Amino acid sequence: MDPVLVLTQALNGLQLGVMLFLMAAGLTLVFGIMGLINLAHGALYMAGAYAMAATVAATDSFLAGIAAALLAAAAVGAVVEMAALRRLYDRDHLDQVLATFGLILCFNELVRLIWGPAALFVTVPPALSGTVEIFAGVPYPAYRLAVIAVGIAVAGGLYLLIARTRLGMLIRAGASNRTMVAALGVDIRLLYTAVFALGAALAALAGAIAAPLLSVEPGMGEPVLILTLVVIVVGGIGSIRGAFVAALLIGFIDTMGRAFLPAMLREVTGPATAAAVGPALASMLIYLTMAVVLAVRPQGLFAARTG
Amino acid sequence: MARVAVWAGLLAAAILLPIAADAVGETYYVGLATRILVFALAAVALDLVLGHGGMVSLGHAAFLGIGAYSVGIWTTHGVTSAGVHWATAIAAGGAFALATGLLALRTAGVAFIMITLAFGQMLYFLAVSLKGYGGDDGLTLWEAARLGPLDLGHDATLYWVSLAWLVAALLLCRRLVASPFGLVLQASRSNERRARALGLEVGRHRLAAYVLSGALTSIAGALLVHATDFVSPAYMGWQRSGELVVMVILGGVGTLAGGVFGAAALILLEEVLAGLTQHWMLLLGALLIAMALLSRRGVAGLLDRLRGRA
């Protein structure tokens, strides 16, 4: 195998991994603390991408787009949380599935209503449009490299926020015993809204930085949501550390599998079988990974300490 | 006794529907009613695990897809016997349920929801990559299935066959739920720890229910293709799984027969809303959110409340 290609694909896997982490962090936090399974998390990702596309189209500024995406999604998240989702925290998971499934339908249709069914495109900012030579003779798109850097920086920031700040302390306390936190006089409703808005902003950041790499269209959140669910199941539901490790693992396996599995199969089974089975197996690889992890550790790689 | 009379009346009306539709020349409604019956079958099967077993599967559309591809693949190779289609659907659906159930049932609650969803998506991508059978674009079938002397390409015949499957499934599931097997299933839903302490084989009962539910849902998938003569990966998209769950909730969780009303309610609602506006999904979504926030027992609960007031 060509080492340059392997390195490039490994970086692509890392880039997908950090994006998945941005999604998974919010989803796993919301589940760990509020006990809510939020299927509409992908809709917030989509909201971020659309806010980005609309702002870049209006102002021509990439950074303004990012800021708009973060603010818009945090605001949408806070409103949705206060208006609907907060009533569902103590309910059955079934009610949560029903309501958030309804939210997905609403968001997808709203986006179609406002921007139409056609896909929008965002161009990479000129400063990052070139390639960087990471090693001699290995060029890599600067934008993707920037995405990786942003993702790792946000992961670090999130770690500091949760481990070192008062808000993080409340989040951790809320995750281990929310009744007790409320009894100690913390405004738990405000905390929940803040956590939800934070998760929404992270998802929107993922959507916004993914916008130049993908097409921005209605329903774009769902494929990412499914990958994110795989990530949190593998990582252990409720665990941010697990989400980080699993996001990188899943991003890496998915990218490498798609890039190299068909070629590897061709050498083993011959071209005819490989052409038929290769792509199928590559797209199923992460689910097989999940199955293996579950067979060995049903609670995920890093089981959260509580629920 | 009165309940039996109501059900007999409903069944008689259902049997007579194609004849009535034919008499007034509205044969479109036979196709619509067949779709309702098929999804009702799937919803009843899902309610067996969701309502009675407490296993919220968000991947049941995978079984619809298995049934659909059982018909599609056999028909492309010239086998049009519905008996073969159904046997394959039951075998393949049961096998997939067994394999995924063994893994998924190691977890419970939210993890179970997510894992069934992921396995459903896995199968979706497998179907997309089946280039020989239409891949992403799907597969149009040019030959209708036959069941002995019956031509399932005939709308009313297929309607009656679907009705027979639905009635059989309802009777089977009702018997099952009332049997010792069903009692273990329900006991492990309401208090798993106590059920285990009593020495009940919680895992095995759940797995058996899941396999049965998968096989029945696969039959629904096969019937769906007999009705549409078209197979595509879209049948097992996760939105479809969501719709099945919505049908069960609309009809009332844990009522079995509720699945029939839930399927009818959702399909008719979609039909009506789609006639009103192009953006009907917005209305449907809002309705689902309102349902989740306000009512807890779906159409069945609503009916109960009305009856209590009357």
Query: Which stretches in chain B have pLDDT values below 50?
Result: 310
Counting residues of chain A whose pLDDT is more than 70, the rounded percentage is: 98
Per the structure block, which two tokens stand in for B202?
Answer: 């919680």
Distance from CA of A278 to the nearest CA of B (A): 9
Beta-bridged to residue A139, according to DSSP, are A133
Q: Report pLDDT for B256.
A: 87
Q: Where are the domains of chain B?
A: 2-309
Q: B204 in helix, strand or coil? A: helix
Residue A198 and residue A203: Cα distance in Å, rounded?
A: 9
Per the structure block, which two tokens stand in for B298?
Answer: 């779906």
Q: How confident is the model at residue A19 (pLDDT cuts 50, 70, 90)?
A: very high
Q: Are strands A138-141 and A131-135 parallel, antiparallel or unpaired?
A: antiparallel
pLDDT tens by residue, A199-236 = 999 999 999 999 998 889 998 988 899 899 899 989 98
Residue B278 and residue A279: Cα distance in Å, rounded?
A: 36
Residue indicated by tokens 């779906």: B298
| Reported pTM | 0.86
Q: Report pLDDT for A153.
A: 94
pLDDT tens by residue, A155-191 = 999 989 988 999 888 888 887 787 888 888 888 888 8
Q: What is the DSSP letter of B154?
A: S
Residue A114 and residue A116: Cα distance in Å, rounded?
A: 6
Computed over every residue of chain A, the mean pLDDT equals 87
pLDDT tens by residue, A236-251 = 888 888 899 999 999 9
Kindly determine whether residue B288 and residue A94, on different chains, have CB atoms separated by under 8 Å: no
Kindly determine whether residue A222 and residue B125, on different chains, have CB atoms separated by under 8 Å: no
Q: A140 in helix, strand or coil? A: strand
Residue B251 and residue B59: Cα distance in Å, rounded?
A: 19
Q: Where are the domains of chain A?
A: 3-218
pLDDT tens by residue, B135-160 = 888 888 888 888 888 888 888 899 99
pLDDT tens by residue, A120-137 = 888 888 888 888 887 777
Distance from CA of A30 to the nearest CA of B (A): 13
Kindly determine whether residue A110 and residue B125, on different chains, have CB atoms separated by under 8 Å: no
B2-309: CATH class: mainly alpha
Q: Report pLDDT for B306.
A: 64
Please check whether residue B48 touches A, CB under 8 A.
no
Which of A94, A97, A294 lies at the smallest CB-CB distance from B115? A294
Q: How confident is the model at residue A307 (pLDDT cuts 50, 70, 90)?
A: very low
Residue A246 and residue A304: Cα distance in Å, rounded?
A: 14
Residue A291 and residue A297: Cα distance in Å, rounded?
A: 10
For residues A70, A76, A77, A82, the Cα torsion angle rounded to the nearest 10 degrees is 150
Measured CA angle at A47 (ends A159, B112), to 5 deg: 65
CB distance B253 to B44 below 8 Å: no
- ipTM score of complex: 0.82
